[in-house]
Structure 1
Amino acid sequence: MSRNRLIVISADAMEDVDEAYAATLPYFGRLLKSPARAQIESVYPTLTYPNHTAQITGCRPATSGIFNNVLMQPGIDHPDWFWYYDMIRVSSILDAAAADGRSIAAVDWPATAGAPFEVVIPEIGNEDRTGGEDATMASVCSPRGYQLWLRHRDLIGPRPKRNHGAFAAAVAADVLREDRPDVLMLHLVELDSARHKFGPRGAHVAEALRTIDSRLQVVLEALEDAGTTDQTNIVIVSDHGQLDVVQHTNLNVLLAQRGLLEVDENHRLVRWDAYLHSSGLSGQLFCAEDISAQKRRQLEDLLDEIVADPAYRIRKVWTAAEARESFGLDGPFDYVVESDPGVIVGGALDRRVIVRRGDPDFGGTLGNHGHHPGAGDQPVFFATGPDFVSGADAGRHSMIDEAATFAAVLGVDLPSCEGTAMSELLATGESAGRVTGSPKVSAVDLAPLAS
């Protein structure tokens, strides 16, 4: 059983095509010299919260319960997200490690609000609904986490242009120096934000990677200061890629036109028989509990119509049972709406049904995700440290295999995990850090860079 430490750093929306440039950067480059690696396929939908939950539970959404970023709250412009740790229906690698006596830190990791670990500073929003920012953070952080949040909160900046990257890196550095956790989970969002705002490709991607490299510098230098570099496994992961947004297909507007939901003169929801809950480049369609057989037949006829009409660019509508069987995706919805790549399945109530890129009323993000996991460029998994084999390549793996791999590295059991450890990446031996038959990945080289 390994007693080495584990740091998992999520570079949200990093894609396999980013590796070549990232490897030229000072701190990314140190982690990408000869890592153990895999190309990862996201769970469906390719959203942040379902996939970060898969990374720590090894379970798809039907099992974890985290089927979207946001809760189904019809008619609310900014729904609450799956912020809270107790929304996850299964145990995580954090639970397993804590039960084994390991200390845990989670910094801006999705779906960790209120988690019962030593250092917890979660990603959370809509604080106006939970008593304001101070009261909310006091309630969802661990005591030590709240102390660190107060110490570094000014790094987040004022609304509306807030950036958690510098904050998260500074907190993680303090945690490494002062708390020395056995497991640290860190989430960095600059690359995802850049791709959303400007699109999946362009100079802004390189700029965001350079910013994340500066965050890695803060973390790796703290690890060196703590003197635990040689006993630490470091894994860089991501949750999804992004696609160029080419169209919005706003199905709730179409449902209103066909009498399946009703809005008032201000486009506020009055009632609904069917409601589209957007998951970005896909959607989840809910039926009211009391929907009549006639209304359901009307809805199903409409779904057949939108699949048949190429203008909507809806590729397929899956029943919930079909989505569970094919993707491990399930929830309280009745259907999953899969669009062509780059088409947002929108839940807006106040727009045209079809809005194409280039139209005067096209708005929102230029890059997005939530698409079928097989589309576009893919998430990454790069690992270095005493329990990984230098240069090993596991090929294509599911996101759920990451949690199984973390469990193997830590030597703990995760009974609810649906994934399989990427054993070809793992060094084996009789004692922690000892390798039999395979070279281990050397500790990160933290010698000063040549000028």
Structure 2
Amino acid sequence: MKLHLLLVSLLLAIATTQAARKDRHVILISVDGLASYYFDDPKAHMPTIRSLAESGARAKRMKCSFPSVTWPNHTTLVTGVEPGTHGVIANNYFDRKTKKTVPFIPDPLFDKHEIVKVPTVYDVAHRAGLKTAGVIWPASRNAKHLDWQLPDVFDQKIFESASTPSLLKELRAKGIPIEKQMEWCKMGNAGKAQRDWMYTRIAEHIITTHKPNFLAIHLVTVDSFEHATGRNTPEAYWACNDSDNRVREIIEATKQAGIYENTAFVVAADHGFITYTNQIKPNVLLRQRGLLKSAGPRIVEQKAYAQVQGGAAMVYILDEANKQRIAKQLKNEFKKIPGMAAVIEPKDFDSVGQLTPEDDPRSPDLFLSAKDGYSFSGSAKGDDVVSAMSSPKGAHGYLTTHPLMYANFVVSGAGIKKGVVLDEVSNMDVAPTIAAVLGVKMKNTDGRVLREILAD
């Protein structure tokens, strides 16, 4: 009996390996912040991305995950499940024990296996014998199943220590200035275009030298300029064009490598963008209700605390003895704040893809989401819970049903039908669809394989 089971297991393993398309390549390009509304906007000059859509398939809208911020949504793109399931619940969270913010972004503390609780598409591909690579992909630090990688980390020492040693050696020999990572990250917008230029050079090298079956790359310029100026601004349009150029260069690299005809290109985004002119400061309200104390800019004592995520906020109640009473009080007060779109209780967390605090202590006691034109600030200073901005800014994080939060999704190339336009897909559909193109299968995803766009 044991021998029979062993033989069955071996045959299944062989079948899985044989199913993998070792002649097939998929390049997943995340253009951070590229909202779906840019696709039909003539001011957004994106000839490469539009050409991919014409020769392949696209969705008019791709629904992202809540909160609609970078780290959880990039993790959903490669796992096919909601943040509450994969474990990267937001860009950061508030630790109830230490009473400190714990950042996921930009991977300063955790390796991938410490925070991502489910298999990624690159895990599945690697186990099937395919070669994998990641360039600045969130929540992938020291991922065991990326053959070549540079993590999405700002700190230079961590960036280099968590990168593939042989790849670093190759990049240095080629004159790619990886030693500039931290310097350019610290420059803000002034360094974003340089960073995307460098990340593209790295991707080109990996493609032409190693020809991975799967490569994921994260481009950051669009997101940065939209944060600074809001959506649909001259700066945002410039960034859209710059990212389109990066996509074109990556495609050209596959031609140089001789794998273009066997490559599928997926150009996706993690979220859309909203312009705001007002800030909601939930910690000011908490301070006014005696639930938080501050000394100047510092918060020195908390019975409750709001961890902000742009257009969303996570409210933690630390007074266990009075939690239910405080939660009820805060729910009613938050609902009355101008610009508040939703106050979500734990009983409804499942509807936004999150776990309750009982199931995950990192989860808050309330989720908040702002309306169009508003964003959250973590500041506890001042007397005004809502204050006007001196100039417009851009944010995301909002409820994913907001039409401006829909993300871009275009796919073209090997294994993809031509001329398919879908009304709406979920970002949870991306990973299982990529897996299908590569001839492997992801189990237990919340998303589905988009069979209607597959040619084989």
Q: Which TM-score band applies after superposition, normalised by the shorter structure? A: 0.7 to 0.9
CA distance in 1, matches of 2:45, 2:159: 38
How much does 1:388 deviate?
0.6
Which residue of structure 2 lines up, in the alignment, with residue 298 of structure 1?
A: 326
Count of aligned residue pairs for this structure pair: 411
Which residue of structure 1 lines up, in the alignment, with residue 398 of structure 2?
A: 371
**3-state DSSP class of the match of 1:350?**
coil
Q: 1:148/1:374 Cα in 2 relative to 1: closer, same or farther (>3 Å)? A: farther
Deviation per residue, 1:6-48 (Å, 9 max, x gap): 0011111112222244886453344233321122101111111
The 5 A counterparts of 1:38-437 are: 38=59, 39-72=61-94, 79=103, 81=105, 83=107, 84-86=111-113, 87-116=115-144, 117-125=146-154, 127=155, 133=156, 135-147=157-169, 150=172, 151-153=176-178, 156=181, 158=184, 159-160=186-187, 161-163=190-192, 164-263=195-294, 265-288=295-318, 290-293=319-322, 296-307=324-335, 309=336, 311-324=337-350, 326-330=351-355, 331-358=362-389, 362=390, 366-377=393-404, 378-428=406-456
How much does 1:191 deviate?
0.9
Which residue of structure 2 lines up, in the alignment, with residue 27 of structure 1?
A: 48
CA distance in 2, matches of 1:193, 1:148: 29
Q: 1:148/1:52 Cα in 2 relative to 1: closer, same or farther (>3 Å)? A: farther
Structure 1: tracts of 5 or more residues without a match: 128-132, 429-451
Judge which range, 334-343 or 236-245, deviates more: 334-343
Q: 1:328/1:149 Cα in 2 relative to 1: closer, same or farther (>3 Å)? A: farther
Judge which range, 223-232 or 148-157, deviates more: 148-157
Judge which range, 219-228 or 337-346, deviates more: 337-346
**3-state DSSP class of the match of 1:413?**
coil
Does structure 2 conserve the Cα–Cα contact (< 8 Å) formed by 1:23 and 1:29? Answer: no
Q: 1:298/1:418 Cα in 2 relative to 1: closer, same or farther (>3 Å)? A: closer
How much does 1:176 deviate?
0.7
Q: Which amino acid is the alignment partner of residue 339 of structure 1?
A: A
User: Which structure carries more strand by proportion?
Assistant: 2
Q: Which amino acid is the alignment partner of residue 350 of structure 1?
A: K
**3-state DSSP class of the match of 1:316?**
strand
Deviation per residue, 1:270-309 (Å, 9 max, x gap): 2211111111101111122x5222x6413421320231x2
CA distance in 2, matches of 1:220, 1:29: 14
Does structure 1 conserve the Cα–Cα contact (< 8 Å) formed by 2:48 and 2:245? Answer: yes
Which residue of structure 2 lines up, in the alignment, with residue 17 of structure 1?
A: 37
Judge which range, 400-409 or 65-74, deviates more: 65-74
How much does 1:78 deviate?
9.2
Judge which range, 72-81 or 47-56, deviates more: 72-81
CA distance in 2, matches of 1:168, 1:381: 21
Does structure 2 conserve the Cα–Cα contact (< 8 Å) formed by 1:85 and 1:112? Answer: yes
CA distance in 2, matches of 1:152, 1:76: 35
Q: 1:29/1:383 Cα in 2 relative to 1: closer, same or farther (>3 Å)? A: same
CA distance in 2, matches of 1:10, 1:421: 19
Q: 1:201/1:22 Cα in 2 relative to 1: closer, same or farther (>3 Å)? A: closer
Q: Which amino acid is the alignment partner of residue 25 of structure 2?
A: R
Across the aligned residues of Structure 1 and Structure 2, the Cα RMSD in angstroms comes to: 2.3
Structure 2: tracts of 5 or more residues without a match: 1-18, 356-361
Does structure 2 conserve the Cα–Cα contact (< 8 Å) formed by 1:14 and 1:238? Answer: yes
Does structure 2 conserve the Cα–Cα contact (< 8 Å) formed by 1:245 and 1:357? Answer: no
How much does 1:88 deviate?
0.6
Dislocated runs of 4+, deviation >6 Å: 74-78
Which residue of structure 2 lines up, in the alignment, with residue 6 of structure 1?
A: 26
Q: Which amino acid is the alignment partner of residue 118 of structure 1?
A: D
TM-score (norm 1): 0.85
Q: 1:299/1:71 Cα in 2 relative to 1: closer, same or farther (>3 Å)? A: closer
Q: 1:208/1:148 Cα in 2 relative to 1: closer, same or farther (>3 Å)? A: farther
Q: Which amino acid is the alignment partner of residue 120 of structure 1?
A: Q
Q: Give the % identical residues.
A: 26
Q: Which amino acid is the alignment partner of residue 34 of structure 2?
A: M
CA distance in 2, matches of 1:267, 1:202: 32
Q: Which amino acid is the alignment partner of residue 182 of structure 1?
A: N
TM-score (norm 2): 0.84
How much does 1:317 deviate?
1.5
How much does 1:420 deviate?
0.8
CA distance in 2, matches of 1:280, 1:344: 6
